Amino acid sequence: MSTLTPTDPRPPRAAKWRRMLLFGIPLLLAPFLAVQHSIAGVSLFDQLATPKRAFFLKLRTHRGPLAMGGVRGRFWIDEHEIGSVLTGVDGYGFLKYEAPTTGTFILRARTAAGDAEARMRIIAPSAPVVLFEAEALIWRLHRLDHASSVTDMLTRIAADFELAYLCGPMSRPGMGPLIRRHVWPDAVVLVGKDRNQFERLAARGVNIFAVVGSARFVASAQGFGKHYFSFEKSDQAHHVRRLEDLAGHLKPKDKTP
């Protein structure tokens, strides 16, 4: 008698490893991509904030992998110049800014080291936001038979919430292309997943409704969000066993039965 179970929903071991390599290789190559990205000379970072709350726009100038300080950088929002900074010895330059209204804007930096582009999302203070750990989503994909399940889940959540993806510095160069490849809902990609990141978002008036990711990620967010969901067992978060079920746990107050 055959010991095979035709109805077993788990994919074959070889298929699981193929999916792990498919989604994992871009992240493993991120350090190499970061070096290649650095040749451009300037990096600009996505931003998430609310109107009439001051925060800092950030750029970094570099020569290869090394910081390049003393470079004048000009910031533009859409086609309007809003100010300039001189980068420090670490290559970073910060410009204090206060958005007058909500919307999604193209943020540009123009320097002698090169130009760069990012996005700035300004939302209403009342808008509930769900923050996803981008790497955790990528690593979860290999467990699903169809990557479209993740896209469908994120699309359902995006219908009721603002979304933002948070990633580590080394993952940043490859994260944007991965998100576009999987056709996830369009949202800013914020660099940094530690407690300082959540403190910055809270200071900007961002209404953190839920935090979703690894146990370490949700632990860093304690005290800043209303709901916490982890793909790992954690005393500080609801354990999400099936990623596609997450949308059922997330409901705006006005849609809760």
Domain residue ranges in the chain = 38-122, 128-255
pTM of the model: 0.80
CATH numeric code, 38-122 = 2.60.40.10
pLDDT recorded at residue 245: 74
For residue 178, the model assigns a pLDDT of 79
- Residue 32 pLDDT: 45
CATH for the stretch 128-255? 3.40.50.1000
- Give me the pLDDT at residue 131, please: 97
**In this structure, what token pair is assigned to residue 248?**
């059922």
Quote the pLDDT of residue 1. Answer: 44
pLDDT at 15: 53
pLDDT of residue 147: 60
Would you list the DSSP string of the chain? -----TT--SPPHHHHHHHHHHHHHHHHTHHHHHHHHHTTSEEE--EEE-TT--EEEEEEEEETTEE--S-EEEEEETTEEEEEEE--TTSEEEEEE--SS-EEEEEEEEETTEEEEEEEEE--TTSEEEEEEHHHHHHHGGGSS-THHHHHHHHHHHTTSEEEEEE-TTTHHHHHHHHHHTTPPP--EEE--SHHHHHHHHHTT-EEEEEEE-HHHHHHTTTT-SEEEESS--TTSEE-SSGGGHHHH---GGG--
**Contact assessment for residue 116 and residue 40, using Cβ atoms and an 8 Å cutoff:** yes
Say what angle helices 30-38 and 13-28 make with each other, to 10 degrees: 20
DSSP state, residue 255: G
pLDDT averages per 10-residue partition of the chain, 257 residues: 43 53 50 47 94 96 87 94 96 96 96 92 97 87 61 88 93 79 87 96 97 94 94 86 77 58
138: left (phi over 0), alpha (psi -120 to 50) or beta: alpha
